[in-house]
Structure 1
Amino acid sequence: MIMKDILAIHGGKPVRETYLPYGRQWIDEEDIKAVVDILKGDYLTTGPTIKAFEERIADYVHSKYAVAISNGTAALHAACFAAGIKEGDEVITTPMTFAASANCVLYQGATPIFADIDPKTYNLNVEAVERKITEKTKAIIPVDFTGQAVDLDKILKLAEKYGLIVIEDAAHALGTSYKGKKVGSISDMTTFSLHPVKHITTGEGGVITTNDETFYNQLRMFRTHGITRDARLLELKGQGAWYYEQLALGYNYRITDIQCALGMSQLGKLESFIQKRRDLVKQYHGSLASIDGIILPYESAFSDSSWHLYIVQLALEKFTVGRKEIFEALQAENIGVNVHYIPVYYHPYYQQLGYKKGLCPNAETLYENSITLPLFPMMEAQDVEDVVTAIKKVLNYYRKA
């Protein structure tokens, strides 16, 4: 008979003395100095550091333009505006994402249409997308889930076939390459998030990259109330340098020089952050592969994931309890597991709009069986071993005889 350790949730000693979160920012003295220098300077917002940060991001992803904005949700909203999405339009996206990927469509008065995911990559299934296209479809918002790029060639080919715009939600994928090209240089527009759990942070913040000058001008105007000082866009000529016009109903989605100074400093460390994530993932792979009842994430040949999230699936038929009990037991061991994501159309707000469960079976299965393990650059090898030890302890306890 196999001896089972008493779980912390039942009064046993936890694997860790301190709590290990699923994600965390890494701020060093260089970052702090960059912010302090701005605080001592002339511009706290709408100053030159924003433009410098945008140029650095554009250079990094090899796009012509980048627009920094207040957060990742604002980035998606701005992209939908620039794409001309409006009431009566439909936009296809994945349910396996944070709600912002669909909310941005609603902000423009349009309708989100959910297509199912590939059960291996967890990204949008291109065939499922095509089945959802109607005469009302205006755009596709694919999400590079966990940092692995969606099959962009297939998505873009589909968009060309039906005359659609591709807004790539790469909130998870700064630093990812698709077939040797940086994500951010490929789709019509690509949005990034700079939230603290992402690859780099500005506290809150986002970026949209594009190679299209018209989109670029629309994005810049939208983040500042729909107002422009660009003489090429103004309706009236011959005014003074003070002159500006509101050409559209935009929002105050501006980012600050304070945030962009942090972003500039963080960007210099991005490659080392990504390499650390990949090293930790390699350790996870090696340590978890032999555990019966765990399905490790699939890595596609065309994308070198920057690994925002490390998600495993549980073969729940092998255990005496469900995902909820396993999740709570791991939390009690001081392992900060999480779940990504509740399918968007499960939320009460979307249910009130008429969406029903059962729309996307693959996404729903992933949600019901998955757990996100801690992954962030400040983690050490021992932290990974603690996670693995806790998983073995909990799964052994609940494993069917």
Structure 2
Amino acid sequence: MNVPIARTALTEAEIESVLGPLRSGWLVQGPKVREFETKWSDFTAANHSLAVTSCTTGLHLAAVALGLGAGDEVIVPAFTWIATANIVEHQQAKTVFCDIDLETFNIDIPAMEAAITPRTKGIIPVHLFGLPANMDAVNAVAKKHGLWVIEDAACGFGATYHGKHVGTLGDAGSFSFHPRKAITTGEGGMVTTNNADLAETIRQLRDHGAAMSDHQRHLGPRPYLLADHPLAGYNQRMTDFQAALGAAQMDRAAKIVTERRRLAARFDEAFAGLDWLRTPQEPDGCKHSYQSYPCLFKAAEIRPDTVKRINGERNAWMEDLQAAGVSTRPATHAVHMLTYYREKYSLREEDMPNAFAANDCSISLPLFHGMTEAEQDYVIATVLKGPA
């Protein structure tokens, strides 16, 4: 048997949904985009949801709308996907990395506050792998220092923090619809915010800075007149056929989240007795949505002087699992160890020791909605054989 790390599972109705916009002739930023945005707001309880081309562009738009500019600093956890940091660089601002809590893989609050300087403008906490960051603490620090907060909720679909959906807890949030995500539109993203003024600025920025969209103008009393452009914006609009696919999947949103949690619970039970594999944590008040199932290999043995050894053992085990038909991945990467950031800011692996350990010792196991019981049983049985 071969079990992939992830697999897209779409119903026939969802596949057929894409044909509607193609037949209608309205392909960009039209009625299906509005439907998707409405369903997203209904599911997350966000006051405003704005569909864009990716989670990355959503983070970027939010940062631009909040005034991020050259010379500013933004605090970013060192263990995340590189896009979290890249959007800061795109504004000629400075990415300031802080370490993570190795128990949760999320931002470490004392390290985050220690990284604040007079030039700090904001914080981008990440709800990594679907586990909410400690948003009460993040927001308290941000308020104390007068900083904005953008939630990187790329993996956050279905995750809640003390009963509130992630992406609604800071100034803005951004979600991903990449094929590995629970809701997918191929590429695509959604920005959420409860701030009406911020939402309007992002709405304009995604559409070349236009005061109204083509669809609004088309339905208005004078469709023959072009819109004003109060801002120098970008072309980061979602297509209607992408939105149709996303909107169709939202009809089974709760089912998708429930299924992922059920699969994770089976893994938790099966691996509870393993002292060499630490399974995902779920702190009080947090509901994990299990965008992936990230574990820490030989967590009890991790020290600065053992990381490289454990990394070699993990890699050998991953190779054995791959040979047995079970695909795995490192959970994600430590961005401060990647060439661009390492060289630009003269960073060393040990500058963020927990992110370094997570980079070299984490392992994600296959988990996706549509995973069969036979597939999961095979993964469980293969993992329980242990590393050589």
TM-score, length basis structure 1: 0.89
Contact 1:144 1:171 in 2 (8 A): yes
Aligned with 1:98 (options 81, 89, 99): 81
The residue correspondences of 1:247-266 to structure 2 (distance < 5 A) are 247-266=230-249
Match of 1:137 among 120, 140, 146: 120
Tell me whether 246-255 or 75-84 shows the greater mean CA deviation: 246-255
Please state if 1:196 is matched with 2:188: no
1:332 and 2:329 aligned: no
Question: In 2, distance between residues paired with 1:215 and 1:271?
Answer: 28
Could you tell me how far 1:176 is from its partner in structure 2?
1.1
Decide whether the 8 Å contact of 2:80 with 2:126 is kept in 1: yes
For 1:79-158, list aligned pairs within 5 A: 79-158=62-141
CA distance in 1, matches of 2:63, 2:311: 46
Unaligned runs of 5+ in 2: 214-221, 302-308
Q: Which of the pair has more CA radius of gyration?
A: 1
Q: Which amino acid aligns with 1:353?
A: K
Structure 1's unaligned 5+ residue stretches are 1-15, 231-238
Q: Verify: 1:55 aligned to 2:25, yes or no.
A: no
**Residue aligned with 2:286, SS:** coil
**Match 1:348 to one of 339, 352, 368:** 339
User: How far 1:74 moved relative to its partner?
Assistant: 0.8
Q: Deviations over 1:59-97 (max 9, x none)?
A: 211111111001111111111111110001000011111
Cα shift at 1:43: 0.7
Q: What is the correspondence of 1:2-401 to structure 2 with a 5 Å cutoff?
A: 16=1, 19-229=2-212, 242-315=225-298, 322-357=313-348, 358-395=350-387, 398=388
Structure 1 residues 229 and 328, CA gap change in structure 2 (3 angstroms): same
The alignment partner of 2:371 has SS state of: coil
Query: Are the equivalent residues in 2 in contact too, given 1:229–1:243 (CA < 8 A)?
Result: no
Give 3-state SS (helix, strand or coil) of 1:246's partner.
Answer: coil
Question: Secondary structure in 1 aligned to 2:101?
Answer: coil
| Partner secondary structure for residue 112 of structure 1 | strand
Distance 1:324 1:311, change over 3 A: same
* Aligned position for 1:13: none
Q: CA RMSD in A?
A: 1.8
- The structure 1 segments of at least 4 consecutive aligned residues displaced by more than 3 Å after TM superposition are 316-321
Paired with 1:90 and 1:224, the residues of 2 have a C-alpha distance of: 27
Q: Select between 50-59 and 122-131 the one with higher mean Cα deviation.
A: 50-59
Could you tell me whether the CA contact under 8 Å between 2:162 and 2:286 is conserved in 1? yes
**Which moves more between the two structures, 103-112 or 345-354?**
345-354
Task: Using the TM superposition, give the Cα deviation of residue 241 of structure 1 relative to its aligned residue in structure 2, in angstroms.
Answer: 5.7
Deviation at 1:240, TM superposition (A): 8.4
CA contact (8 A) 2:334 2:358 kept: no
* TM-score in terms of structure 2 length: 0.92
Q: 1:240 to 1:46 in 2, by over 3 A?
A: closer
